[in-house]
Chains A and B, each alone.
Chain A
């Protein structure tokens, strides 16, 4: 096993399923033998604010928080929330973005502009290491807009050599039975998105 700790930063808007996605990551990497730590960083939960989760795995993980500038993988469920953490990513880090805009209050009030061409900015800086997917469209196609987190996880799974069976079993453990098939589809569609 690698000595090095891998840092995954997940960001999004409250209600996008950031926390569930990180729960699944935690159990997958723990099952294959890694030490894991994760920490949710948000203010007042559920009230439309930004939500980030730090997920780390390795032989031995100390800090529950990733050091600024040390992110190996940035997963963002929303473009602005991805951009907010652009400086956290290592030079050779990978970025996975859901191509979706959710306007924050200052934009809604017409006081500030939503940043333009976020995906392009990432592509320019990270070249082949920036991946943009239309997770919302795929999730809607699978039957529920809320599955964007699972679609994105499907895409993320492509970065690792972990058996589908492990991903899918852990995925289902975190979800109620009536949405199992929908989320399996979302995960599989997500894998094909990159």
Chain B
């Protein structure tokens, strides 16, 4: 091969390897059905609109991945998907860039959910679900009844984590939804919740560690009463499982999107967050998974079919008896609560 020819071959090879320049952004999601839903409804159409080249990474534990990347100085992701309590914690540990209010409309979400670091986009309820074969049309209707193992015998499955459970424990003890965090903020409040959990411990067959596991326990009838996330219960029910669930007394949490400190494409990340959380897109998310929008605008203008509203934790008719999970309380007391929970488990 002549020298000239060799050069031209090399030039062709190089230009073929370099695509036309496009802003690239990396997003880290939880993967699975949830990650796929976010892709289809939210970031893929937004990326198309902005002309971005978006790459997805998946992590079941977003916070641990975030902390690893930021503390080791090797940040590869531009957008990370977190639970709001983790978002608050990450912000407190300076792991996140402040969101740019000029790009993202931070005030589009209700005041209680607002955050300067992690933009809440969807919500889920931690709900009571049960096996319809065991309880027929007479399942426990309140958390107090869930705790009543005499009246409702059966194997329980609860998440092996204090989050949402200590709120539920207080509800079962007669605390009103509006008072849960004020009771928890007293010195005896946390102990009262832990004691309540300890009381039900002998009837807990499984302490589950992942949402998928809780769905499997429901599906296999390994447990009769399962505290799980509404999206999981709904999926099992829709698949024809002998399962039902109720939003009564649910604990509502939100998931959010953040930009890690030192992300390589900060500004593009902010723009993508703004575009992927437009009301029509977060409304579209409910086509794929039963996690409702946080932005009230998404509920207007008939973006979500009425039939589906029943399956969303934040739909107006479901939110009445619920407790909104409080990220600030968890930021301040999370470690103490988890420790007390673990100590209860080891007793």
Tell me if chain B binds chain A: no
